[in-house]
Amino acid sequence: MKLKLGFIIIILCVSCGTKVSEEPASTTEKSQPNILWIVTEDISPTLSFYGDSTAKTPNLDAVAKESMIYDNAFAVVGVCGPSRSSIITGMYPTSIGTMHMRTGKDIHSWGKRSYNKEATKKDLQNNPIIEYSAVIPAPVKCYTEYLRINGYYCTNNQKTDYQFAPPVTAWDENNNKAHWRNRPENTPFFSVFNIGITHESQLWKKEKLPLTVDPKRVKVPPYLPDTEATRQTIARHYSNVELMDSKVGEIIQQLKNDGLYDNTIIFFYSDHGGPLPRQKREIYDSGLKVPFIIKGIDGKKGRTDRMISFVDLAPTMLSLAGIEPRNYMEGKAFLGEFETEPREYIIGTSDRFDEFTDRMRALRTKRYLYIKNDFPNLPKYKDVSYRKNIPMMLPFLEMRDNYELTETERLWFQTKTKEELYDCKKDLHNINNLANDPEYQKILAEMRVKLINHQLNREDFGLTPESSLIQQMWPNFQQPITEKVTFTFEPETGRKVALASKTKGVSIGYIVSETAIANPNLNSGWKVYSEPIRVQPGQFVYAMAQRIGFKESEITKTKVP
């Protein structure tokens, strides 16, 4: 489905060793759409337009009635950090070393870039792991840089969580006041608003709030025990979805107040599957499958079974803006000028989640899900301490320990098998493993080969023990530091200045000011350097460089002679 340019786009996210090119995006004149993401977290396709009307979501329902609904959209990992690293780069987390959740707890936004050197976790080889910011392949950038180079005003309000600290070049604004309304007049914008109301943590943080959904009305998945505690937790989640919908309505109303809504294309999707046990962090559909809708201006609506992966979002955003996606990107543009053929399958990965490490790889076609377990001796269930805050979790574990669970409810706690295969059409919850069923051996072999072919000639940093990977990224457990920016003025007139850093793969941000600035704000004001900039005598130029995963350089400045 191709979409025309010259419109507004809203993207609502319910809650990111390859040969690459370092060429800047072109800056040719073209009509460019405005882009807005409204991002919330941790929701599976349990909304009315997917057949589940438990939560009342009038604002999302209104959008869905005008939309194309995608029935096969998937995150790359069942948790936010690795998935968000994929969204912002167009790369699989395993290809850039961001697959372990999470690398450091202080990398959500600028101003919080300290890392605990005390090892509190261990990798598969039982070696200690420190906090770190992932050093990704040198030429890979946050795709928003290409939008900015091409004239976009990009704002993020406010979560990043990319497994690395974003460079100042990623956003014009990255703070809790970031908004499209702050852009210069007649400037196309890409704005992100993050809503955390549906996050897993809100199941206990909002536990004492009144429920707006009756626990007796909720649907309990077959892999969870149907108890009062379970129903209370599920009702809390649906109630949080209703709160999220109100926030969505507020942002949409701002568009209407600004006269933008009528020319708006709306994307809606979640950052991964639901927040419940055996959903978040899992490589099943419950962890990877997400709601995804597109409201266009061409009036097209209905349903499509086209497969969408989060790795596709970066190239698609560039394509919609009329910018050719970078050659290194592993995703496929599914809209816009550079739309590609539909993908045959999606890839999912599972590595470390907090204090527990494993390695699983999945391939999902429209009908079947294949999972390869590299460590079948390990149990499916990971005793993640953070998840134990969910109100229903401790009663669930107590039932397990007392042998009170049904056979289906016990599956999550069993030791894995080497391979898993599920018929997702007949088995929506991925309960019945068909890997040993004689009738499915041909399909199993076909899925196995597809995964092998995908992995050929492709880096998988998950195969490297994480402690060794950290040593490669941060030699001697010290974060590498980006070399400072140097200035070179035009020889004769001095009206242009070139900026450079000796560090390979850097992005350079700069500020040109009429007066000296004591402390430049790291949260806004930095432009992306792509070519020599025109300056005037007496102006001050400030510059800072960062290679993703490195510590940013010191800020250097010069006064134009």
Residues of the chain by 3-state class (helix, strand, coil), percent to 5: 25, 20, 55
Q: What is the 3-state secondary structure (H, E, C) of 197-260?
A: CCCCCHHHHCCCCCCCCCHHHCCCCCCCCCCHHHHHHHHHHHHHHHHHHHHHHHHHHHHHHCCC
User: What order do you get walking across the sheet with 153-157 strand by strand?
Assistant: 173-174, 153-157, 189-194, 34-39, 8-14, 264-270, 289-295, 68-74, 302-309
Q: Using an 8 Å Cβ cutoff, are 71 and 289 in contact?
A: no
424 has catalytic annotation = no
Burial of 261 from C-beta contacts in 10 A (0-12 / 13-18 / 19+): middle
- Active-site residue among 13, 16, 80, 154? 80
CB 427 within 8 A of CB 421: no
Describe the crossing of helices 313-320 and 80-89 by its angle, rounded to 10 degrees.
Answer: 30
Q: Which one-letter amino acid corresponds to residue 111?
A: G
- Which tokens sit at 204? 């206990």
User: Which 3 state secondary structure label does DSSP give 22?
Assistant: coil
Nearest to 551 by CA among 113, 136, 144: 113
Q: What separation, in Å, do the N-terminal and C-terminal C-alpha atoms of the chain show?
A: 53
Give catalytic residues, as residue numbers: 80
